[in-house]
Copies of this chain bind each other. A is one copy, B any other.
Amino acid sequence: MDIATIIGVLFGLVVIVGSIIAGGGAMAFVHIPSLAITMGGMLCATMIHFSLPQFLGIFSIVKKTIVTKIPSSSELIQKMVNYAAINRRDGALALEQEIQNINDMFFVKGLQMLVDGQDSENIRELMSLEIQYLQDRHSTGKKILEFMGAAAPAFGMIGTLIGLVQMLRNLDSPESIGAGMAVALLTTFYGAFAANLILIPLAGKLGIYSKAEVTAMEMITEGVCAIAQGENPTAVREKMQAFISHSRREEVKANI
């Protein structure tokens, strides 16, 4: 659960919507046809750019970005050190009953291969491929969000051009000029708002989240492979700690 994303979106809405309400006449900012042009145009352009499965997959990736919890490094190391101790004391088969306590599917897959007695080289190859496929999915998601962030203001501008042409045709009723122009500007506002508060920052968050998740997965891979080679808990800890900065390293012992 990414708290910064939620705070950012909520406060952003409060700031923008609040300032609109404070200015009076907030209903002037709600205009369904303008919303349809900006968002509809953006979604259509995105569908033309990407394939249907890629387009439909973006929503689940964004949801996962907000909901999933990246396991803390120290927690990962603590667990792996325990498993290393169990492995040396009772053998790999004893790890089977630990698997049920893990939520992370990637971690489960690694332990299962350990229990199945696969050698470390085999495990590393399979887990690295999984990591690469995750990076591909994330990078496609990032590209889709970035494209949407570029398309939203473009269709906002297209909507404003349509509104201006329609307004200019009715210049003989001067009292409607202001209202017509206000409506024309709304699509530009919608596009700029969606791109700068939601789409572009979310693409950035996906990149940062992807990097963190990949690091966690690499730590798990390193730990599982070390256990598969029969290394002792201290060596397992050392190998996993190479991924985090010195100041955040701490002494971890197997407590089982």
A5 in the interface (beta carbon within 8 A): yes
Contacts of A29 in B (CB 8 A): 162, 165
User: Which listed residue (B49, B54, B172, B188) contacts A201, Cβ 8 A?
Assistant: B49
Q: Within the assembled complex, what's the spacing in Å between the Cα atoms of A3 and B8?
A: 34
Q: Is the CB of B246 within 8 A of A50?
A: no
Residues in B neighbouring A15, C-beta threshold 8 A: 36-37, 40-41, 44
Tell me the nearest residue of chain B to A192, going by C-beta: B158
Sort A-B residue pairs by CB-CB distance and give the 6 closest, nearest first. A171-B178, A12-B44, A8-B48, A48-B201, A8-B47, A49-B204
Binding site for B on A (CB under 8 A): 2-5, 7-9, 11-12, 15-16, 19-20, 22-25, 28-29, 33, 36-37, 40-41, 43-52, 54-55, 126, 129-130, 133, 147, 151, 154-155, 157-159, 161-166, 168-172, 175, 177-179, 181-182, 185-186, 188-189, 192-193, 195-198, 200-202, 204-205, 208, 212, 245-246
